[in-house]
Chains A and B, each alone.
Chain A
Amino acid sequence: QQPVQSPQAVILREGEDAVINCSSSKALYSVHWYRQKHGEAPVFLMILLKGGEQKGHDKISASFNEKKQQSSLYLTASQLSYSGTYFCGTELTQGGSEKLVFGKGMKLTVNP
């Protein structure tokens, strides 16, 4: 039941855009997105609950498709600080993250 993330790694130049996908074989209750920098703990970015939902802040946004089986994280005009590994975490049933299952992550490197 682990979500599948793609691509596994991306190298960008500062200012370029990136899209990270997260797919599940089953309909989800929620999708979480986290970013982890090397040697640090994962940091919460956003959570999506509704099919068709889109949300974001600054230049990072995310969508959740109508069937609630796929989510994408959009990074626009990437900055050096965006470098890190991005994880999606999925929840199958309602209940406040009793069992959030994380994907294997997408490693993003942003170069000057």
Chain B
Amino acid sequence: DTGVSQDPRHKITKRGQNVTFRCDPISEHNRLYWYRQTLGQGPEFLTYFQNEAQLEKSRLLSDRFSAERPKGSFSTLEIQRTEQGDSAMYLCARGGNTGELFFGEGSRLTVL
């Protein structure tokens, strides 16, 4: 158990719809990350929070992507006007004491 839960685990949507993923660390952790992983690739960095502040955002994120972490606890990742290229596994991770990442089980998105 990595102490990170994600919801939903699977989401199938039609192109053009909006989707939102939620990440809940069991206890409050300063650092929280979102990564995206497509088949056969390693995780790609999307964004990073230190408490409630979003400190870095990848260029991979278009304006259709937004992430929040109100009150420094849970986080949400929203994708607006989904495209087929958005199909991927969206991974949330908390930062450990020595810099390691503890990933949640991920939310798999399929855009039809």
Q: Which residues of A contact B (CB under 8 A)?
A: 30, 32, 34, 40-44, 47, 87, 89, 91, 96-105
Contact = CB atoms under 8 A, between A and B. Distances in A.
Interface in B76-103: 91, 95-96, 98-103
A103 B37 CA distance: 12
B69 interface: no
A41 B2 contact: yes
Nearest to B104: A41
A93 to B, nearest CB: 12
Contacts, number: 60
A89 B48 CA distance: 16
B41 A47 contact: no
B104 to A, nearest CB: 6
A98 B55 contact: yes
A98 B104 contact: no
B42 A87 contact: yes
A91 B40 CA distance: 21
B31 A97 contact: yes
B7 to A, nearest CB: 14
Contact of B45 (A42, A87, A100, A103): A100
